[in-house]
A and B are shown apart, each in its own frame.
Chain A
Amino acid sequence: MQPLAATTPVPRSYGPVNWRGVYALYQRETVRFFRYAAETLGAPTVSAVIFLAVFHLALSGEDPRPGISLSAFIGPGIVMFMMAHAAFEGGSIPMLFHKMEGMITDVISAPLTPLEMLAGYVLPATTSAMTVGAVVLGLVAIFVDLPLHSVTAIIGFAFAASLLMALLGLVVGIWAERWDGYSAVETFLVAPLGFLSGAFFPVDNLPETMRWLFHVNPIFQAVEGFRYGFIGQAQTSLVLAASVLAGMSLILGLIAWRMLAVGYRIKP
């Protein structure tokens, strides 16, 4: 056998997209999600059942809207609430963790474009959030008699909301330098957005002057769109809801992409 010529190896060539690299990042986060399933999947599931029980015991017998039971109204809201939260955590915690532990260098030095890195962090968060949603929904459906109106709306809004919150999470994960920053955003932005989204109560009860506050909340739009998939009515127009989610995702996606491209708080 001829000895190999002592040339330096040529760089591996990819097509326009480094699919393998994106898949490797995707796989890493997905494996992490399932390895800690007790926390990532178990905790939201338990919380969902607790919320359902609490609302049922505290408020049952008072239909939020004629013909719709309280549980059928709150059930989809709880699923969306858990999904949005899981997406935010899935988008932010891995990035912050990799930054703090120094593992981010492994990602930066890999032959990945900023857009591929973006996909490698955001897509697994979206997938895991939708997995949380599916599991929570399955469990809620055991206790609640859920009607079904439009599967397209359910899957579409689940995906749009997960994507948006994963992108928000990624931006926060890049921006935060310590856990304090992350938890401040979670406490003062994400928790209020989630709790005050109309997931747990109908906004028709609110005074007119307060209602606009809900309409600018993307989670409100997501909850209403998602709930429409079950009960067939929404407090907002579906086109508006979809546009708000898509528009905000686009803006956050651009921000995250620029952050990764210039290496904001990632590269020294």
Chain B
Amino acid sequence: MDPIFVQGRAPGPRLMGAVNWRGLWTLYLKEVRRFLNVFTQTLMAPVITTLLFLAIFALALGGAGRQVVGVPYIEFLAPGLIMMTMMQNSFANTSSSILIAKVQGNIVDVLMPPLSAGELTLGIAAGGVTRGLMVGVAAGLAMWIFVPLRLHDPAVLLFHAVNASLMLSLLGLIGGIWSEKFDHIAAVTNFVITPFSFLSGTFYSIQRLPETWQIVAHFNPFFYLIDGIRYGFIGRADSVIALGLVVVPAVNVLLWLVAHRMFATGYRLKP
């Protein structure tokens, strides 16, 4: 018989190894099921929006004959659009998850279980990355019907897809923890994330910008993401591709540390 019952003691805490794998997996599943439950809004809507942007630019000014940096404009545009929608959805997933839980009070269900700050960060961010990648794949497949997409360098492509989703998931996490009302996160989305995702070279080569703005663009991490994924598809980049491979993970490490710290101290999470 189980010694606990024999000796009549209270059960001891369940033993976990260094990582609470089961808790982490449960948190991750919760995050994924949360967005899959409303997949029309979280997966189909972004795909439709992306296709509409593609249509506009394809139709605009007799688009077919246009060339940008030596490739047809539509092939130049498609990778940027895929990246843009991945970024917006990763951000939306983690920020809304955290903020809704905070506003409704069910954040305690996430904070009370034996999950460390690292596990919380990983579980929630992984949910956002999953949504970003799923939206990206769906948008890519939908575009492939209309645009001949090439795969120049799948490794670089995957690297930037995962890192972009992670970067925006972490930003969403930080934004969600910082926000106290829906107004706050709406402001961040409208005034920071949307402008940056639109103006980081999705629709044009930054060579069209004035000299000073080209330099400014290199300080914008979103620029490397869009430039990098475009390189993965069409094999041509505005910046040095190796620079992106360094800058992007560095930004992610920094954001991860901030998010981890927020969970560890309970900033705006714990009373």
Across the interface, do A200 and B60 meet the contact criterion of CB distance under 8 Å? Answer: yes
Across the interface, do B183 and A53 meet the contact criterion of CB distance under 8 Å? Answer: no
Q: Is the interface of B mostly helix, strand, loop or mixed?
A: helix
CA distance A13 to B187 in the complex (A): 46
Task: Give the chain B neighbours of A70 by CB distance below 8 A.
Answer: 61
Is the CB of B204 closer than 8 A to any CB of chain A? Answer: yes
Interface string of A186-198 (1 = CB under 8 A from B): 0110011001100
Q: Known: A50-B195, A58-B203, A188-B48. Is A39-B186 also a contact (CB below 8 A)?
A: yes
Task: Give the chain A neighbours of B61 by CB distance below 8 A.
Answer: 59, 62, 64, 70, 201-202, 205
Across the interface, do B186 and A191 meet the contact criterion of CB distance under 8 Å? Answer: no
Number of chain A interface residues as a range? 20 to 34
Across the interface, do B59 and A201 meet the contact criterion of CB distance under 8 Å? Answer: yes
Distance (Å) between the CB of B187 and the closest chain A CB?
6
Task: Give the chain A neighbours of B204 by CB distance below 8 A.
Answer: 54, 57-58
Across the interface, do A206 and B186 meet the contact criterion of CB distance under 8 Å? Answer: no
Set A39, A54, A180, A201: member contacting B38, Cβ < 8 A: A180
Across the interface, do B40 and A191 meet the contact criterion of CB distance under 8 Å? Answer: no
Task: Give the chain A neighbours of B202 by CB distance below 8 A.
Answer: 54
Tally of A-B Cβ pairs under 8 angstroms:
85
Is the CB of A43 closer than 8 A to any CB of chain B? Answer: yes
Interface string of A85-114 (1 = CB under 8 A from B): 000000000000000000000000000000
Q: List 7 A-B contacts (CB under 8 A).
A: A50-B198, A53-B198, A54-B202, A58-B57, A187-B40, A191-B49, A195-B52
* Given A54-B204, A191-B52, 6 new contacts (CB under 8 A): A43-B186, A53-B198, A54-B202, A57-B203, A57-B204, A202-B61
| Chain A residues within 8 Å of B, Cβ to Cβ | 36, 38-39, 42-43, 46-47, 50, 53-55, 57-59, 62, 64, 70, 179-180, 183-184, 187-188, 191-192, 195-196, 200-202, 205-206
